[in-house]
Amino acid sequence: MTRLSVNLNKVALIRNSRGANQPDLLKVAKDCEAFGAEGITVHPRPDQRHIRYDDIPLLKEMVTTEFNIEGNPTKAFIDLVLKNKPHQVTLVPDKPGALTSDAGWDTVKEKEFLSDVLKTFNTAGIRTSLFVGTDLKMINGAKECGADRIELYTGPYAKNYTADRALAVADFKFAAEEAQKINIGLNAGHDLNLKNLTYFGESLTNLLEVSIGHALIIDSLYYGLQNTIQMYLKCLKTA
């Protein structure tokens, strides 16, 4: 079954907006795990507008499921990951100040750079993943760079799901088949939600993990965090 990793960035964003420790990020992480989440994801950005660098060692200490750190591999980010050694690091090519991650790596153009960074993390025993689109060249490029997994950027799928879900998922099915063919693990994330998650999971049979934050936190305002996590898990079990 596909694993659910809960992204806590929006929880940290709310906390930071008042300058105190409400909500308590560590408590929320513990609760997410207690409610069934199979992983915790964070994405520390250079401006630290949500997850802060000093959150990472505290989360590393208490997370008992899979700990996944996402981010652009700047020197500061690389040092942070190596110092705290999560189970997985997901490299994302977001520019400083980006509102959200909205594109994957050009693994052909950035092959030398990515290969060096991935080797550093792999040598440290950290599973590596590259954020990519559905272009098969980029997926094969990720394999050539030495990534253990790819994470498909699912923004286009979510955007087009309502109009024609079969068409929306078609490129992702081809991408998943290619990943399976070349023996690279498959994750996915971005704008997946209660409406579109089940169909996506049904369509990609080799999907190992989804990382969901924004939609899950919004849904928790209406359904409560425990119920919401169970609803997302049900989507994945149904798939």
Q: Which residues are catalytic?
A: 43, 70, 190
Counting every residue written for the chain, the total comes to 239
Omega within 30 of 0 (cis) for the link into 96:
no
For residue 94, give the DSSP letter. P
Burial class (CB in 10 A: 0-12, 13-18, 19+), 106: middle
Rounded CA-CA distance 12/202 in Å is 32
Rounded CA-CA distance 163/186 in Å is 25
Rounded CA-CA distance 228/230 in Å is 5
Rounded CA-CA distance 86/5 in Å is 13
Burial class (CB in 10 A: 0-12, 13-18, 19+), 71: buried
